[in-house]
């Protein structure tokens, strides 16, 4: 159940405001009796309500009287204050992340083989986006239909955003797509491609017939391989991320061969 405390008021402040609404103009003593706020605390509580602009006082009266601000206005003011606090916290967190991003660095890729896997469409997408965001030098993607990390559904736009961010970091990006894939992409992906990526010097897209499998090669050191669902080949079942320089080298050579045979993308 919602409570004024959810918007930042203390228990005493919440009780005092509600009592003021019911009682109308009231002295501190009257409010203490109506709300159950101890007399020793009631003035601090009333001063706080005035700071929050939830109550007004009539200083000319003796003793001083207080009146609650109308609920709609009071709730709007509490919401504005909470949103301002959240914005300030977000700025603080962003500053911390920016500082830590320059301080924390990943070590060199391991020489020995290491692999991990994610199961299900959402986890598969998260793993792929994570590895794209970690690229420093080069991203190579082969997307074959029908099962594709660039499929028309959940992650087409998200992948495009990560590739654009990689380009901004100076990463070379090469996409080799099955001839069927461009027609399956959301219109927004095509718009982003033409407006912001197509002319980038580090970006290239080609299409080729007969591609099989979908994988992403990151920094010539690790390979993300999509495993289609055995029940529905149009859906991703798992993503395997394999860090193995020797296997990555084989993938790179295979990609180069297919790349030479492919045609530049034309939409």
Q: Dump pLDDT digits (tens) for 198-248.
A: 788 898 888 888 777 788 999 988 998 888 777 776 666 788 898 888 888
* Spatial distance between the Cα atoms of 228 and 18, rounded to a whole number of angstroms: 58
> Does residue 29 sit within a domain?
yes
> Does residue 109 sit within a domain?
no
The verdict on 151 and 240 lying in the same domain is yes
Count the residues in the chain. Answer: 267
Domain boundary among 79, 104, 129: 104
Q: Is 127 exposed, middle or buried (0-12, 13-18, 19+ CB in 10 A)?
A: buried
The verdict on 207 and 94 lying in the same domain is no
> Does residue 60 sit within a domain?
yes
Condensed to tens digits (0 to 9), the pLDDT of residues 54-106 reads 999 886 678 888 898 999 999 999 999 999 999 999 999 988 888 887 777 65
Residues with Cβ < 8 Å from 127, sequence gap 6 or more? 116, 118, 224, 239, 241
Q: Give me the half-sphere count of Cα atoms (radius 13 Å) on the Cβ side of residue 31.
A: 33
The verdict on 196 and 231 lying in the same domain is yes
260: domain CATH number is 3.30.870.10
Condensed to tens digits (0 to 9), the pLDDT of residues 151-185 reads 444 456 788 888 889 999 999 999 888 877 766 66
The verdict on 130 and 247 lying in the same domain is yes
The verdict on 181 and 231 lying in the same domain is yes
Q: Are 66 and 55 in contact (CB under 8 A)?
A: yes
The verdict on 62 and 184 lying in the same domain is no
The verdict on 61 and 125 lying in the same domain is no
What does the pLDDT read at residue 193? Answer: 66
Alpha helices in 106-210 (DSSP H): 121-133, 156-168, 181-184, 187-192
Q: Residue 190 above 70 pLDDT? A: no
Residues with Cβ < 8 Å from 31, sequence gap 6 or more? 16, 19, 20, 23, 37, 42, 46, 66
The domain of 31 spans 1-104
**Domain total of the chain:** 2
Residue 238 DSSP SS3: strand
> Does residue 110 sit within a domain?
no
The verdict on 189 and 119 lying in the same domain is yes
> Does residue 198 sit within a domain?
yes
The verdict on 157 and 237 lying in the same domain is yes
The verdict on 130 and 232 lying in the same domain is yes
pTM above 0.95, yes or no: no
The verdict on 159 and 220 lying in the same domain is yes
Condensed to tens digits (0 to 9), the pLDDT of residues 91-146 reads 999 888 888 877 776 555 556 678 888 887 778 888 888 999 989 999 998 877 54
Q: Are 142 and 174 in contact (CB under 8 A)?
A: no
Q: Which residues pair with 65 in a beta bridge?
A: 27, 58
């Amino acid at each position: 159940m919602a409570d004024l405390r959810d918007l930042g008021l203390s228990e005493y402040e919440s009780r005092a405001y509600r009592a003021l609404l019911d009682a109308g103009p009231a002295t501190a003593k009257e409010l203490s009796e109506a709300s159950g706020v101890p007399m020793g605390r009631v003035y601090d509580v009333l001063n706080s309500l005035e700071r929050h602009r939830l109550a007004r006082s009539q200083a000319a009266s003796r003793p001083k009287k207080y009146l609650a601000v109308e609920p709609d206005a009071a709730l709007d003011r509490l919401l504005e204050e909470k949103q301002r606090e959240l914005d300030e916290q977000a700025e603080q967190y962003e500053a911390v992340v920016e500082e830590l991003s320059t301080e924390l660095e990943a070590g060199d890729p391991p020489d020995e083989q290491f692999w991990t896997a994610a199961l299900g469409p959402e986890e598969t997408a998260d793993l792929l986006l994570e590895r794209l965001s970690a690229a420093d030098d080069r991203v190579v993607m082969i997307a074959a239909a029908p099962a594709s990390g660039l499929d028309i559904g959940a992650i087409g736009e998200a992948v495009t955003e990560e590739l654009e961010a990689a380009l901004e970091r100076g990463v070379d990006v090469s996409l080799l797509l099955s001839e069927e894939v461009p027609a399956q992409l959301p219109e927004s992906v095509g718009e982003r491609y033409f407006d912001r990526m197509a002319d980038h010097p580090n970006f290239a897209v080609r299409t080729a017939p007969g591609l099989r499998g979908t994988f992403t090669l990151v920094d010539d050191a690790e390979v993300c391989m999509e495993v289609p669902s055995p029940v529905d080949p149009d859906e991703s079942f798992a993503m395997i991320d394999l860090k193995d320089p020797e296997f990555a080298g084989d993938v790179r050579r295979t990609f180069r061969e297919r790349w030479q045979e492919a045609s530049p993308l034309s939409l």
